[in-house]
Amino acid sequence: MDFTAAVIADFLKGTVEGDPEARVSDVSRIEEGREGTLSFLANPKYEKYIYDTASTIVIVNRDFKPSRKVAPTLIRVSNAYESFAALLQFYEKSRPKRSGISRLASVDPSAVLGEDLYVGDFTVVSEKAEIGDGAMLYPQVYIGAGVKIGKGTILHPGVKVYEGSEIGSHCVIHSGAVIGGDGFGFAPDREHHFQKIPQLGKVILEDRVEVGANTTIDRATIGATILRQGVKLDNLIMIGHNVEVGENTVMAAQTGISGSTKIGRNCMFGGQVGLIGHITIADGVKIAAQSGLSKDVKEENAVLQGSPAFEFGPYQRCYILFKKLPEMRNQIMDLERKISNPGKDSGNRG
């Protein structure tokens, strides 16, 4: 990365305020800015850092009004956060990409391989698998029989994709993720032994899905576990069998979704959210971290918190009262003593 402010502004359709020839070769957080780096300011609470940062260029919103002199060259754009992300994506795409199939990889002769692939050391591509153009399979990836991988999809080291799974185009699967392992299906017999229920379905990830490190997505018992296009999963997430996740839904780390749950589009789940099985979540629902849901959410765009979760506003008010419970308990006990012994209190006043 080595760009001038003028070049960056042209790419972002922004305007330069300062030296158009100011040059950067790296990025940094605004509070840790260094000379020769690019930063951005989107959140007003970080404004204080722009007056002392050593960053050479800072991307800001068009309506940003500094309260005192700013040393870095500014690039004004409509949305600083989105513009910074777009610039990083451009830089990522411009970096040299690995290509070729390692002689240490194991590729079954019946596999169908696209063009311009990268298949790393000790990666296994099993029989009748299909790998799309431009896909990248880093070392020690396992691709099971009949798996389909779309064009431009990236599987980082150690990803395991079980047989029959389907992954769309331009997906990213991070290290340690397991796609298509058996769903948690067992039935007790008369002797209270748990007999395994065969998991005969598959997993389907549509286009532009991203799956974090060590996340697991179980295959369906029958049918498919489905993540629709644009879904983004953080690290250490568990998606149970026959779950369906709607388009552009995002989930933070350690969220767990039990089997056969249906989640709508454009939902946002904080970290450690838990959902029981066989419930339905409407479109646009937001669930705060560490919340648990045990029933359907039918209201679109609802904001929930707690375990069991309910509306965010009432929860916040209840939490204020919850913190005061010890004090309120003491007050109630004091009132009970006064009611039980009215004469004793009046005698003390005399």
Alpha helices in 77-209 (DSSP H): 80-94
Tell me the longest C-alpha to C-alpha distance in the chain: 102
At a CB cut-off of 8 Å and minimum separation 6, what does 38 contact?
A: 8, 24, 26, 27, 28, 55, 56, 57, 58, 59, 87
Tell me the C-alpha distance between 30 and 227, whole Å. 36
DSSP 204-224: EE-TT-EE-TT-EEEPPSSSE
- Report yes or no: 39 and 53 within 8 Å, Cβ to Cβ: yes
Q: Which of 174, 193, 241, 278 is catalytic?
A: 241
Is position 174 annotated as part of the catalytic site? no
β-strand pairing of 23-24 with 3-4: antiparallel
- Report yes or no: 294 and 276 within 8 Å, Cβ to Cβ: yes
Tell me the C-alpha distance between 255 and 247, whole Å. 17
User: Which residues are catalytically annotated?
Assistant: 241
